[in-house]
Amino acid sequence: MQYPEPIAKLIDSYMKLPGIGSKTATRLAFFTIDMQDDDVTQFAKALIAAKKDLHYCSVCGNITETDPCMVCTDKTRDNSQVIVVEQPKDVMSLERMHEYHGLYHVLHGVLSPIEGKGPEDINITSLVKRLQQNEQIKEVIIATNATPEGEATAMYLSRLIKPAQIKVTRLAHGLAVGSDIEYADEMTLFKAIEGRQEI
């Protein structure tokens, strides 16, 4: 006996999501059947709307309903600083801090020779153009992840941008706030010592 077709199709759809295998997909599908009608309808509508109503900002590459996005059009923001991140969710994480009031640029990936991703595959061209066209940008803060690919991308961008007399900085590496030295890995400890500051 096979699953009835509607549930088999739903299981297939759930399995397309990252980190969801057949067991979890089956559990989610059966859960869906027991959900409120309204919730399921809303879920289906949200899926369609997220795909249809969201675009990438033509200036910074962030996800937005309007183009340019709310950050790029906000006159109160400091347009002398641009933070470069890998993904749109990184923008949200930085915004949650409520301490940064500059602009953003989303790369949508990192340089990765292993995956065959070169400079033309991520959103670098538009960053260079943006820096050329906006002379008020004085500093580019590179906030790619602290992974080998993130580091390599940071170095590449730094070499690309510095000749234009724009300050290029990188987020500090070190111990996470609240973490134990006992559990910190060697690289983090090394970076923490290297970046030590006088108190």
- Scanning 21-29, 139-147, 154-162, 189-197 for contacts with a copy of itself by CB under 8 A, the matching segment is 21-29
Q: Does 45 bind a copy of itself (CB under 8 A)?
A: yes
**1 touches a copy of itself (CB under 8 A):** yes
Quote the CA–CA distance of 150 and 140 in Å, as a whole number: 15
Contact 81, 141 (CB under 8 A): yes
Stretch 73-112 residues interacting with a copy of itself (CB under 8 A): 87-89, 91-92, 95
Q: How many CB atoms lie within 10 A of CB 193?
A: 9
Q: Which is nearer to a copy of itself, 92 or 164 (CB)?
A: 92
- In whole angstroms, how close is the CB of 42 to a copy of itself at the nearest point? 6
Beta-sheet pairing, 55-56 with 63-64? antiparallel
29: number of Cβ within 10 Å: 20
Q: How far apart are CA 40 and CA 32, in angstroms?
A: 7
- Choose, by CB under 8 A, the member of 22, 30, 190, 195 that binds a copy of itself: 30
Q: Across the strands, what pairs with 83?
A: 104, 141
Binding residues (CB under 8 A) for a copy of itself: these are 1, 3-7, 9-10, 12-14, 16-19, 24, 26-33, 35, 37, 39-54, 63-65, 70-71, 87-89, 91-92, 95
